[in-house]
Amino acid sequence: MKLLITGGAGFLGARLARTLLARGQLNGRKVNTLVLADLFPPPADLMADARVQARTGALLDQCAALGTEGFDGVFHLASAVSAECELDFELGLRSNLDTTRALLDALRAHRGTTVPRFVFASSVAVFGSDPALPLPAVVQDDTLPTPQSSYGVHKFICEQLVADYTRKGFIDGRTARLMTVSVRPGRPNGAASGFLSGIIREPLAGLDAVCPVAPETRIALASPARTIEGLIAVFEASREDFGGRTALNLPALTVSVQQMLDALAAVAGPEAVARVRFEPDAGVARMVGGWPARFESARRERLGLRPDTDFKSIVLQYVQDNPAAVTIPLRV
């Protein structure tokens, strides 16, 4: 089968690509070709695999051509992130709404005898507390999205586009709402939630980090491994098992910032935690504080998806996956 990953050079896209290449198959079919579309070239290890091809440049400019390639499946991960969308309204519209519709229309125009399976990576930023409809303490499968940021609005609109193109038979679409992913390696991105990786990643590299929210702030998050597991499970699920066209909330571990720092201390000692300083940022705190922190989902349980067990295991996952980025002595 031939697959497309948009955002394929990014952290999640590259990790998904490596996972699919290692598996060698998806939904019982051999992965022959994996096309990674991104603004930047994919990592060298991926390009060394004969099954990988790159499509480099602005995704919006590539959509028409991509539609002609006859993909069996698409993982649409490319997106402008939360803080970027708040700072640059036009960038968010172009990168999120315009690009997603252009990609869907290209696939619709050139679909063959079978429609491509299409997984859209949405976000829990579609939820928020609206004056007319306050956010419940626990988000359920039937909780109504009320996004409170441009990024959340974009994601929710795209969810509906995917659902409608699926209803019309243009694609076999399914949407997975991702939790905040921590711990991300590499450089910080423009997401408002970026500090939730930075307060772990930087101290483990012997660097200082800033936390813009209070220690008691509670977050719903998932490790990179659980996130990729969820995306693949959503792709492989039958239409009946996925359960309709409404977006699925992936599993979430609920932790406070203080619990995250406690896990860091357990792995790397109090010296690592001492590198984190609290500098309140009202804008970030308002955005992050408006996101739901607790989820329950019978739908994701039916797919066999479970949240991470604790945050210490997530820190250890980062250490194992990124040994060169950890420069301080560890306690484990």
CA-to-CA distance for 211 and 199, rounded, in angstroms? 7
Q: Give the tokens for residue 106.
A: 């290209």
Distance (Å) of CA 243 to CA 73, 76, 142, 294: 19, 20, 12, 22
Q: What is the dihedral of CA 294, 319, 301, 244, to 10 degrees?
A: 90
Task: Count Cα atoms within 13 angstroms, Cβ side, for 42.
Answer: 26
Reference 103, options 54, 171, 183; nearest CA is 171
Q: What is the DSSP letter of 97?
A: I
Taking the C-alpha atoms of residue 162 and residue 59, their distance in angstroms, rounded to an integer, is: 17
Identify whether the C-beta of residue 279 lies closer than 8 Å to the C-beta of residue 220: no
Q: How far is 233 from 55, CA to CA, in rounded Å? A: 25
The one-letter amino acid at 199 = I
**Selected catalytic residue, list 127, 151, 311, 318:** 151
Specify whether the CB–CB gap between 275 and 204 falls below 8 A. Answer: no
CA pseudo-torsion sign 140, 118, 111, 113: negative
Q: Would you say 35 and 197 are in contact if contact means Cβ atoms under 8 Å apart? A: no
The answer to whether residues 325 and 201 touch, using CB atoms and an 8 Å cutoff, is yes
- Start-to-end CA span in the chain (Å): 42
165 is catalytic: no
Rounded alpha-carbon distances, angstroms, from residue 84 to 79, 179, 210, 321: 10, 18, 19, 28
Annotated catalytic residues are 151
